[in-house]
């Protein structure tokens, strides 16, 4: 009868090699996946911070538009040709005003109107503090006197 010791050693070596290789590939894939996700998150975060830093907008003027609504004219003068600004909130005297969602995107170098509906009636000769906030968290304030 032939001794089977050699075959067993080769089989054991191959088995260990396969197990180690499979585990190695799995570990490599998990590591690469995790690192790629982290890199994407970091890139997205940095991109957001960059866009926030580049974002510039200003309330050019305010118009009376009804007893409880005003029209704001906004200019996007960001330092990036493709940077659009999305208006997130409008506050008038610390009270949130509603506005139409269709007009909330402000294109670069275009003066765009947005009508804000207030929760109160405007009073002649009163001063109103208006705060417009974008989705990236940039704000612009304006003091308007209804005259």
**Residue among 23 and 60 whose Cβ is closer to other proteins:** 60
SS3 state at 84: coil
Q: Residue 123's closest CA among 68, 71, 65?
A: 68
Among 2, 3, 6, 101, binds other proteins (CB under 8 A): 6
The C-alpha atoms of residue 83 and residue 142 are separated, in whole angstroms, by 23
Q: How far is the CB of 66 from other proteins (least distance, A)?
A: 11
Applying CB under 8 A, does 41 fall inside the site for other proteins? no
Residues in the chain: 147
Contact string 107-146 vs other proteins (x = CB under 8 A): --xxx----------------------------------x
């Amino acid at each position: 009868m032939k001794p089977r010791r050699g075959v067993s050693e080769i089989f054991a070596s191959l088995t260990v090699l396969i197990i180690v290789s499979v585990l190695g590939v799995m570990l490599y894939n998990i590591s690469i996946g995790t690192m790629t996700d982290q890199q994407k998150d970091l890139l997205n975060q940095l991109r957001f911070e960059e866009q926030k830093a580049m974002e510039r907008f200003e309330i050019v003027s305010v118009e009376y538009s009804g007893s409880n609504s005003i029209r704001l004219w906004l200019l996007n003068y960001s330092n990036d040709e493709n940077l659009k600004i999305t208006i997130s909130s409008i506050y008038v005297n610390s009270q949130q005003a509603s506005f139409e969602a269709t007009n909330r995107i402000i294109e670069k170098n275009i003066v765009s109107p947005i009508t804000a509906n207030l929760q109160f009636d405007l009073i002649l000769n009163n001063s109103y503090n208006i705060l417009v906030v974008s989705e990236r968290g940039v704000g612009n304030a304006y003091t308007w006197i209804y005259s």
